[in-house]
Structure 1
Amino acid sequence: MPHTADLLEEIATLKAMLIASEAHNLRKDERIERLEKLVAAFRHAAFGRRSEKSDPDQFELALEDLETAIAAIHAEEDAENRAAKRPAKPRAANRGSLPKHLPRIEEVIEPDSLICACGGGLHCIGEDVSERLDIIPAQFRVIVTRRPKYACRSCTDGVTQAPAPARLIPGGMPTEATVAHVLVSKYADHLPLYRQAQIYSRQGVELDRSTLADWVGRAAFELRPVHDALLADLKRSTKLFMDETRAPVLDPGARKTKTGYFWALARDDRPWGGASPPSVAFTYAPGRGGQHAERILQGFGGILQVDGYAGYNRLIAPDRIGPGIQLAYCWAHARRKLIEITRTGSAPIAEEGVTLIRDLYAIETDIRGSEPAARLAARQERSAPILARIDAWISHHRARASAKSPLGEALAYIAKYRGGLGRFLTDGRVELDSNTVERTIRPIALNRKNALFAGHDAGAENWAVIASLIETCKMNGVDPHAWLATTFTAIVNGHKQSQIHDLLPWNYAATV
């Protein structure tokens, strides 16, 4: 299995060869074979079972280039076959399926004549049907609202007119669906507002970025009660995940950025058959100190699965006021430290540890979706002996490895958090890792790459509100645009605060 650096170097070499004139002289089959081998190697590096090597996102562009090169060679081959009037080679292709809800535009292609060569009339004995996906670029339309005025000819009691409908943006031009589109484009598709303005301009719709920002800010304000209801619902759970990620924020006074943090609180009970819907709520805080986690978790009592960040320790301090929290830690972080050691060369001790942890994950794959009691029984029978071997392995090698060596530090990390790492053996709801919450943070990181930083603390808070609701929609299989448009309409029509829970994304899913 080649290393990532080797793969990148090989891709660069192969692309140069394909561009150079001598590459044209290679047999097509040979070029395709080499490209397909690289695709397979890259996919294994990015998504294989041992892949703690890098974030898969960094592989996407390379994979796109490789697969595009393969398709270009196939197109060249097809063109030559057509010119020579040879049948095209059959190729396996994953074209996907077209959803039933999409509108169908039927076209019937008839022969030039329905008269047979013998002079008789042809009759239909069947047909071939094919479907292709067609896209109409985003089209704007104008909703014209007319409110006729009526007056009585027999008296002067005044004018009768229907009241103007409520709007999310008072006096503004966007419909609720338009504001939803702007939010989804920014927070789900990672299109900054100035790029959206450029796209709209191509349709002849001139909108300032500042106008779009005004819409986003007003929408965020209206969505805050829903975000608060989401966070409150999460804290009523007895098992949650938590993590944090950087949120660079512009600091105009210092003419640079300062580092705030998005704290993510997530729930996903599906692995053990829990009934609570999956969800995530982000909260912005100006720092990473444990006091922020404590503030966010006020009122929560139960198991909290986290990484090894020391700031969480204050949550289990003896003098903590409120319901007790039990910390469960993340085996993926422990494994990552060992895998980093194996990258630098032969490391049989670290490789042994990776293998033992992999055995724990294999058991989790078998029991995923089972009830907590069944998961716990399987773990007591199958995982406990492996964990005992891990304990013995740590004890044996810590006595021999330098405490300051990478191996010594990795062993010390596992030993330090061993209590929380073993909590999955006492509660069937606990996962082996905190990957659930890390997955919810990835879109935040993508947005951060595009936007570089938030313009203000308040901007980061709005970011957290909207991202929470969009990511929760995605976790529940709900179209965020449809949910936002419906929710905005309900809000402007006076949805009661006492019934705010009805607006949460999973309740929308239950009604569609």
Structure 2
Amino acid sequence: MLSAADLPDDIAALKAMLVASEARNLRKDDRIERLEKLVAAFRQAAFGRKSEKSDPDQFELALEDLETAIAVVHAEEAADVPATKRTSRPRAANRGSLPKHLPRTEEVIEPESLTCVCGGCLHCIGEDVSERLDIVPAQFRVIVTRRPKYACRSCTDGVVQAPAPARLIPGGLPTEATIAHVMVSKYADHLPLYRQTQIYSRQGVDLDRSTLADWVGRAAFELRPVFDALIANLKRSTKLFMDETRAPVLDPGRRKTKTGYFWALARDDRPWGGDDPPGVAFTYAPGRGGGYAERILDGFGGILQVDGYAGYNRLIAPDRAGPEIRLAYCWAHARRKLVEITRTGSAPIAEEGVKRIGELYRIEAEIWGSDPAARLTARQERSAPIVAEMEVWLAHHRARVASKSPLGEALKYIAKYWDGLCLFLTNGRVELDSNAVERTIRPIALNRKNALFAGHDAGAENWAVIASLIETCKLNAVDPHAWLAKTLKEIAEGHPQSQIADLLPWNYLVNV
């Protein structure tokens, strides 16, 4: 840091130093601006459609590095400012908030002396309070259970001893909370078991991956009735979402992987103020045929909101037995097909289509959370005229655009699913898209990336069971670890099977 003695007396030299300083600051400003533009570009790409980005996780890593680089530049700026001139005003940044439930450890920093320069005693007139987030690394502990034995000295009627507490794994090392931690780390935080063993070994706890796998497998078996209750509860609804995603599974006989699928069945009535809690159930199937969807939905009747996958047509076949199912389709998928065309060059027709669909979404944003009747009224008054105009627009351009062109294919897609796209105009419980279920599938895709594949069909089924319960916890703002620890303990203690529905995640906060 320069002092007055360090400055040159020569005016020309002083001017040269000033120009160099300004140039250095200009380069720093340019660097900040360039980095911030890169961050904005990466964010735009990261929130695009999956097929529009090469690797979403790589984008997140790049974002972290860019934001770190910006922080370095800001730190350099702060270091160049003399301490006497620094202000206490914090830099504008989202630093998060510190929840009230976190334990507080207070430290009071007193002045070196409470004696005034005049010789009198200083008294407190106020204080400045600041809070910082501190982390104590996870610590293992050993719970030692002692069960004393008692006998009578006057007779030989036997020995008295308290019964051993129930355990999920009889004679095993872990508590139910430990098993819950392993499951949440794997299925919510996407940390494979072999990496968990590496973390534990750093604290001197040596556990084989196979041991953790045994814990998870036993817990999955015990949780299966809860999963069955979850999917049964969802199918009693009259409005659900459905989607599917790939699930690579190891095929040892052929020394390669085969492609299975996770089918997601979801409920989210919050947009129209429904009383049923949100939830999602994943089911593993070895294929993507519509027959698997039909089997999963056995007993369900009502509206099913899906994308345009042809396999769902089996659900509305005239000869299908069971309750009637009506398919509502997804405007987001229709919009994406038009957006793809706008990114290849000038496409005024596609751009107009995107704009028309955008008007529908603006209306939906305004009526989110209203009851079905209010939503239906708003849609009839505001959305129906837009849709009617779009139907005319669609027919007009389909007659003039080559059917095999990208635009022709996009318009054909919209026309093909038109009736299902318009179902939201006659039912206030129907959404504009199926994004609710697509969001629930994202964690499955992350786990698939980290684990590469499931080791067996049975492993994929266990994966589906545990992921369903964890994601349902998250949808209901329930801590998955707390719910799993409590639920596994209650199961170990013999929770009645007839009351298994009481253990569903949305009942946790009520029962705590």
- TM superposition score category, shorter chain reference: over 0.9
- The letter of the residue matching 2:282 is F
Determine helix, strand or coil for the equivalent of 1:139.
coil
Return the index of the structure with the highest Cα Rg: 2
Equivalence for 2:85: 86
Determine helix, strand or coil for the equivalent of 1:247.
strand
Q: Does 1:454 align with 2:454?
A: yes
8 Å Cα contact 2:166/2:493 also seen in 1: yes
Determine helix, strand or coil for the equivalent of 1:453.
coil
Determine helix, strand or coil for the equivalent of 1:134.
coil
Equivalence for 2:366: 366
Q: CA deviation at 1:158?
A: 1.5
TM-score, scaled relative to structure 2? 0.92
Determine helix, strand or coil for the equivalent of 1:249.
strand
In the alignment of these two chains, the number of paired residues is 488
Question: C-alpha distance in 2, partners of 1:56/1:393?
Answer: 35
- The letter of the residue matching 1:285 is A
Change (3 A) 1:296 1:43: same
- The letter of the residue matching 1:329 is Y
1:91-148 deviation digits (Å, cap 9, x = unpaired): 2122221111111111111111111112111111111111100001110000000000
8 Å Cα contact 2:327/2:420 also seen in 1: yes
Question: C-alpha distance in 2, partners of 1:349/1:79?
Answer: 54
8 Å Cα contact 1:46/1:53 also seen in 2: no
Q: Does 1:440 align with 2:420?
A: no
8 Å Cα contact 1:44/1:51 also seen in 2: no
Q: Does 1:380 align with 2:380?
A: yes
Question: C-alpha distance in 2, partners of 1:46/1:455?
Answer: 30
8 Å Cα contact 1:470/1:480 also seen in 2: yes
Matches within 5 A, 1:288-299: 288-299=288-299
Q: CA deviation at 1:61?
A: 2.0
1:391-428 deviation digits (Å, cap 9, x = unpaired): 11221111122221111111111111111111101111
Equivalence for 1:394: 394
Determine helix, strand or coil for the equivalent of 2:81.
helix
Equivalence for 1:500: 500
Change (3 A) 1:351 1:56: farther
Determine helix, strand or coil for the equivalent of 1:27.
helix
Change (3 A) 1:51 1:445: closer
Equivalence for 1:76: 76
Question: C-alpha distance in 2, partners of 1:114/1:88?
Answer: 26
Equivalence for 1:16: none
Equivalence for 2:430: 430
Question: C-alpha distance in 2, partners of 1:458/1:432?
Answer: 36
Q: Does 1:27 align with 2:31?
A: no
Equivalence for 2:38: 38
1:324-367 deviation digits (Å, cap 9, x = unpaired): 00000001111111111111111111111111111111111111
Determine helix, strand or coil for the equivalent of 1:436.
helix
Matches within 5 A, 1:57-206: 59-82=59-82, 85-88=84-87, 90=89, 91-206=91-206
Question: C-alpha distance in 2, partners of 1:331/1:448?
Answer: 27
Question: C-alpha distance in 2, partners of 1:151/1:38?
Answer: 77
8 Å Cα contact 2:46/2:60 also seen in 1: no
TM-score, scaled relative to structure 1? 0.92
Equivalence for 1:239: 239
1:194-242 deviation digits (Å, cap 9, x = unpaired): 0000000001000000000000000100100000000000000000000
Q: Report the RMSD for the aligned CA atoms in angstroms.
A: 1.8
Question: C-alpha distance in 1, partners of 2:503/2:155?
Answer: 46
8 Å Cα contact 1:81/1:88 also seen in 2: no
Q: CA deviation at 1:388?
A: 1.3
Equivalence for 2:471: 471
Change (3 A) 1:51 1:440: closer
Q: CA deviation at 1:481?
A: 0.3
Change (3 A) 1:459 1:24: farther
- The letter of the residue matching 2:478 is V
- The letter of the residue matching 1:140 is F
Change (3 A) 1:51 1:191: closer
Determine helix, strand or coil for the equivalent of 1:318.
coil
Q: CA deviation at 1:509?
A: 2.2
Identity %: 83
Question: C-alpha distance in 2, partners of 1:296/1:319?
Answer: 18
Question: C-alpha distance in 2, partners of 1:37/1:322?
Answer: 55
Q: Does 1:486 align with 2:480?
A: no
Question: C-alpha distance in 2, partners of 1:59/1:370?
Answer: 36
Equivalence for 2:15: none
Question: C-alpha distance in 2, partners of 1:297/1:89?
Answer: 60
- The letter of the residue matching 1:122 is L
Question: C-alpha distance in 1, partners of 2:47/2:321?
Answer: 43
Equivalence for 2:326: 326
Question: C-alpha distance in 2, partners of 1:125/1:134?
Answer: 28
Question: C-alpha distance in 1, partners of 2:58/2:404?
Answer: 31
8 Å Cα contact 2:342/2:350 also seen in 1: yes
- The letter of the residue matching 2:124 is C
